[in-house]
Structure 1
Amino acid sequence: MKIVKILLALFFTLASAQESDNTKDFESFELTSSMYFFTLKGSIDSKYPITIKLVTDIAGDANTIRAVNVKGVYLYDKFQKNIPIYGELKQESLELFTESKEESFTFKLTQDDLKKILDDKKQPLNITGEWKSTPKGKESKALQVVLSEVDLLEGKISRLDEYLMKAQKSYEPTEENKRWLEYSNEKLVTYYYEDSAFFIKPANIGILELEAKNMSFKDFEKAAREQMQEHTLDNFAGGSYEASTGAVADTKAIIFSSLGEYFYRSTPHPNNIYSYAVFSIKDLAFIDTSLSAFVNVDKKFINFLQKELDKAWKDAGNDDEAPDISDRMEYTTFRLGDEDIEVHFEFPYVIRSQDNISIPKAKIKPFVKKSSFFYEYFK
């Protein structure tokens, strides 16, 4: 369906170019959404110091947020054990629950409270709320909670902004281009570009095509516009590059994934580009997602992975045998999901349709290195 849309967009634009020798070029670079990251410090019953670390889902401007889901962890400072929580942040309140819903936090917020929570600096708070424990079969308990401070998550990140980049370029065809245009009576070559870029505040890290660079916002916007121009090449007779790049986050990492499609006027099918990257909030850097950084790649693991591929290959209805992956380990990467691990083999193009298999976390857990950045996700 996406290919059809690209073809139609290209057809209508090039058709309009027949009526005029000049098609207006454009570039746009617009903020579309944000995620917010923050740490709340306080105490329960004035006796038990606690820390709450939270990340919001994708949201709009801080001034227009009505309700947004949040997730994260809370911990008693004395014990330093993360307890997963989730909930909702509204203009007038913050409500949080543990996964079992046996514990909850409720806070009433003023506009000033919300502004401070979503700001990009450490500052004092004075928010009073309630912690409630309602264990099954036991007496419920409620205690006062006071939040006294808000800080950046890990002291590093307060916000991730997503920008949509669009570009169009039209130009006179070269002699080489004209070979592709002579049968359609088109006069101009037109190229389209669309993708997302991200900027981390207040660390001033720009993420373009899943590469992170320290830069001011001014430099970030300049680099984004240069990237758009780099894609609008004039060595083919028009086409488009459309990428869908997104981000999800928890209190440990931001995970970026991207699917890009190049469609050239001279080819009937697009070239697909898949990208995946994990950005550590604590380290402000991308994490190695090769298999060797994740598991002990020994004979036992390779045999396990081969059996998983053999099964997936058979389940997909293939009559021939699955390829031998013993020499593919240096090319193989993984993608972390909620329940499964997706393994990407980067096979040669002729068997690319079987590039990915999903393996339940429980099955791969025995092989995960304790020193790995991802080990915590398997506890």
Structure 2
Amino acid sequence: MNRYVFYVLWCDGITISGLLLYNLLLDERFSGSIMAIVISALSGMIFLVTITKSLGHFPKQGLPEILRMFLPAGARVSLLIFFSIMTITKGCIMIGYASSFFNLYLIDVKTITIIAFMFITVSWGATRSSKTILSTLELVLFICIPIMYYILTKAVFSQGIEWNSIKAMADYAFTWPKWETIAAANSVFSGFVGLIIFNRVVPSKIKWKFIPLLLIVNLHILVTGLLISIGIHGTYGVGNYIAPTYSALDSIGIMSGLFSRTIMPYFLIILFLLLIYAAVTIHVGLELLKGCFSMKFQTNPRKEQLLSWIICGLFTVITMIYFNTFTLKQIKYHTVNWFELRFYTEFLMVALIALFAVMKWKRRV
């Protein structure tokens, strides 16, 4: 397995867990969130294996090139626009959520200001080449991951952890979850969407022996964060917080360097991971959108860059208006619905690529 494929999948699981999934799954802790994680692991691995095996039939090609081979222009453009909007929206949601949570601690700074700062940084990164983005992703992970594991390890072995609260959740381990909870938990494995573009520069093939490793690295950060939140706040008390995981880490001291509490280095890590992965996500969306145009347009760097910045600017304005108009509770409800649509979108994407891979294989036979 190419290491960059691993980085894309790993960063997606860490970032989306820290920003979106902790709150959503803790809200459903008595209604099947544990079983939802188990089911999502199965469905996520099926999606991942299917799409990586299928992309192996299209070396050095992305989804736009694959659709160009098999679909008429109208269907191809419609699908690419839809997939592009869904992918860019994911990056916008992560930026908006992060801005709202950071605003809880940076009270003097408006959410719109934080969103604008993040979008400027992310947009610049998203308009770079795929190879540049992957190299930057590798560097950020090497810096952030050791610190994150240190913080989570310190939290797990903190004296404030109440293990009886964690054990009490075993009573709800076999509660059947709601469909929206499964769809949300499944998003921890949705990093494979990036491979539909990065397959152009790195092979997406994954050997079977790496599947358990991918399963572990995508789930353990999610599960650890949930256990820390429940262990510190209590089985019922965890529901009284807007951002329970952040509040839990805020209660743990750390006597090293410049920081006295674990929340500040954790915020910095999440910020760096958010910026790089939002850049990855929006870059994928932009590349899908560029696939709607002719090859002549795609070989013109100035027009490509102009289109990318226009799209980033448009989504920046939409995100600012959206997160300034709705409350965090309303946004959470909309996000749950978006997770369901995302699941169906990714299923369609995987099914199409698998179908085209079979068609190409039959042509060879």
**Which structure has the greater CA radius of gyration?**
1
Task: Name the structure with the higher strand share.
Answer: 1
Task: State the TM-score, normalized to the length of structure 2.
Answer: 0.25
Task: State the TM-score, normalized to the length of structure 1.
Answer: 0.24
For CA contacts below 8 A with separation 6 or more, give which structure has more relative contact order: 2
Task: Name the structure with the higher helix share.
Answer: 2
